[in-house]
Chains A and B, each alone.
Chain A
Amino acid sequence: MDVMPKWAEVILVPLISLLLAAVLSALVILAIGENPWDALKLMVDGALGSTYGWGYTLYYATNFIFTGLAVAIAFHARMFNIGGEGQAVLGGLGVALVCLYIPFPHWSLALITASVGAALFGAAWAFIPAILQAKRGSHIVITTIMFNFIAAALLNYLLVGALKPAGSMEPATGKFPETTHLPSFQDMFSFGEATLFRGAPANISFFVAIAACIALWALIWRTRLGYEIRAYGHSESAAKYAGISPTKIIVVSLLISGGLAGMMAINNVQGEAERLVLNAVEGAGFIGIAVALMGRSHPLGVFLAAILFGFLYQGGAELALWTSIPRELIVVIQALVILFTGALDNMVRMPLERFFLSRRKPPKPDAKSTPAVGTN
């Protein structure tokens, strides 16, 4: 018997958490001598007030959807994949290799191949920690964190060496060929005179991200594999009893997780930069953790949380541009959102549960379904 109705669980709890984070953020902005109301208006205007703003918000959101889904699927197997950052770096490498070395007649083929390349590279990077966890019991949190650093170092090495075009002074690959360039929202949604999303980086991979949400939802709740992953996540001992191999679940769920994190690269590397640069991931791997937490590991929740964080990213950039509020403050606001929606979840949940309990009618005296209480 659930204490709260479903709608309160999925809407009310995050909403109140967000409001609390907003109130605290307002106080911080007030404390540095700015007007929080103006700041909010500026953020909303900058991120959502124009197709240009939306173009940025959705671009960031696309990154966060991929990394958020990556963390979410691992959560279902009760694995904490903290290595989305490194897996996304490797995904970028996969995209770069595909785009640089395979001649494509059309962007659509390039998108498909690059997606596969990104997923394979990301998955391969997750495979090593996964197999170490499954076979040797090395804790996945530790190994994936370490692999983030190895990934960064590896990329560094390649970008000042093998992948750097001759004569270039910059640690980056050369520009990808024209046929690999993905259609941006500006290309897709401008008709006749009206140019929408002018200059914004959002591109077709946003729709790939949506497709990934739907595919992951089906995987988790409709397939036999998803059933086994969730079963293992709920109870390892029960999974063993049912003949579900823990090794298989750990490895497979982390391969999917790493693959999703890697696929982020079709957005930021192929779609936006059109070449591979250092630090292309920009922390999106870590934001994915917050997105998955806030989205309760549900693909729809991840989607909505990713949009919210996209808004915070873009709105924060606008704040830094037009006010004396430093860019770092936006990190504070994001941290508050994470704090309230993730870490302090119970602070909001418990009073709400009490509220709903007090409104409930007393149980019928002879309820057959009275759950067992008290253990013997």
Chain B
Amino acid sequence: MTAPAIELKGISKAFGPVQANKDISIRVMPGTIHGIIGENGAGKSTLMSILYGFYKADKGEIFIGGTKTDIPDSQSAIAAGIGMVFQHFKLVENFTVLENIILGAEDSGLLRPSLSRARRELKALADEYELNVDPDAIVEDIGVGMQQRVEILKALYRQADILILDEPTGVLTPAEADHLFRILENLRREGKTIILITHKLREIMDITDTVSVMRRGEMTATVKTVDTSPQELAELMVGRKVLLRVEKTPASPGDVILDVQDLNVTDAKGVHRVKGISFNVRAGEILGIAGVAGNGQSELLEVLGGYEKASGQITVNGTPIDLTGQKSDGQSRRRRGIAHVPEDRQAEGLIMDYAAWENTAFGYHHDAKYRNGLFMNNAAILQDTTEKMERFDVRPPDPKLAAKNFSGGNQQKIVLAREIERNPDLLLIGQPTRGVDIGAIEFIHQQIVALRDQGKAILLVSVELEEILALSDRIAVMFDGHIMGERDPAQTDEKELGLLMAGMTGNPSQVSVKDIEENLAHAGTGKV
């Protein structure tokens, strides 16, 4: 019997009072793809950081290829044949692909011999695994998909036999993700071992051989992928039954609430981010905006939320809103009945050091019910927060706890409760479930649909296509500041939307990944 490529025995790691990994044991056989799935904060990243030498485990042993190995730092991890592709790439932007690949692995003081050796090996690797990159391209000029391949090549160039990928598809279009999976299958065929960390159930089902589920720092199960189902995995992750589908009736749209005409946004650096887009959202419908991150969706939300200037015309309930002057701030927007759940709740939606009750008044602290002359009406806010926490099932229901001490899902519920309970005409909501646990996703989706059913207009921005497809009544796809088109969710699929996300139209089966990448790179978008 062959020894496992990696075997972890009884790994434990605590950060202060928090037990991030608790007695974790896992065996990964060589030549397999092993998925690790779990909610945010379940301890996946910590475990991989231990394997890559970033953290030292408090307890436990690591065996690589059957021999006990100490991994005090990432150098030792590389020496042991482990390569890691991080979620946020670690590339030098203004170096060429080749320079990035040899960085830290140069043969001598002179660069030239290393570069020509790397060029030869790159050619061989590219042919073997379908890992095509232009060795002389500057990294900042190439698309995200290719940057990711550079990361994989970096690992292979360092003779990695074990490859760890952390949430690799987060920034890819569906076609690019499919391409990545083909590469991973090629690697597996050549006997490499791959660990894939993800929170997407579908990816696990599509490509892995075995899957381990983590929950609250513990490994709750390891199963063969063929023997399980998404439903079962979700239950293992959350610890109870969950609904993966959003239950909703067809929309019955009313009057136009939000009307956007010829909107242009140029950011502080002078980059033209939104290029003359027009659309509307009606009462009682959800308009979903899909797109790879960085194609102008964030700027659109910022303009509507009142903290980015723009030109063009936007009307809410038939009256124009100010886009450049005194009344283009968040306070004025709120008075016009616009509520906003921002994309980044930790940097925008919440003050992390403020208690939940202080955050409940955030943005609405001038409201009559929250103020008391120059002072805040703390008693009223506290009372209100207690009720909101109850209705939105925020845990723990402690209004005096600082926002930073809630989990991602509960933080999002605090923001949602604040914005939804104010009964807005229009709700802007960006990445509603980013970093949110599955249990809370279900709840948040239900709240959004319930608000729609009350006849409110909802503008949803998300990079998760599944979420867009599940919630939207209409879908608009943004690419490079333009709206590429609008689709009916019932008559489209991920393939077609994926193509639009790359700025292309036509028959999905006739477009190659190469074209998509060139288009994305050309537009200079999709950078993380």
Contact = CB atoms under 8 A, between A and B. Distances in A.
B220 interface: no
Contact of B354 (A234, A243, A245): A234
Contacts of A374: 20, 41-46, 49
A240 B330 contact: yes
A241 B347 CA distance: 9
A363 B17 contact: yes
A162 B18 CA distance: 67
B445 interface: no
Interface residues of B, number: 60
Contacts of A231: 351, 354, 362
Nearest to A368: B395
Interface stretch (A218-226, A329-337, A338-346): A218-226
Given A1-B17, A373-B43, A234 B351 contact: yes
Contacts of B44: 374, 376
Contacts of A357: 16-17
A245 B329 contact: yes
Contacts of B42: 374
Nearest to B214: A374
A241 B366 contact: no
Nearest to B170: A376
Nearest to A225: B374
B16 A3 contact: yes
B87 interface: yes
Nearest to A241: B348
B352 A224 contact: no
Nearest to B361: A227
Interface in A239-275: 240-245
Interface string B334-356: 10000010101001111111100
A40 B435 CA distance: 57
A5 interface: no
Most buried by B among A218, A227, A230, A244: A227
B482 interface: no
Interface string B84-107: 000100000000000000000000
A235 B347 CA distance: 7
Contacts of A136: none
Nearest to B40: A376
A168 interface: no
B395 A369 contact: yes
A1 to B, nearest CB: 6
B321 interface: no
A360 interface: yes
A243 B338 CA distance: 12
A371 B18 contact: yes
Contact of A1 (B340, B349, B361, B405): B405
B30 interface: no
B17 A376 contact: no
Interface string A343-376: 0000000000100010010010000111111111
A228 B18 CA distance: 32
A373 B351 contact: no
A370 B216 CA distance: 8
Given A224-B365, A241-B340, A234 B352 contact: yes
A376 B199 contact: yes
A235 to B, nearest CB: 6
A179 interface: no
A244 B15 CA distance: 35
Contacts of B354: 230-231, 234
A238 interface: yes
Q: Which 5 A-B pairs have the closest CB atoms?
A: A243-B330, A372-B41, A243-B331, A242-B363, A241-B348
6 contacts: A228-B365, A238-B347, A238-B350, A370-B216, A374-B20, A376-B167
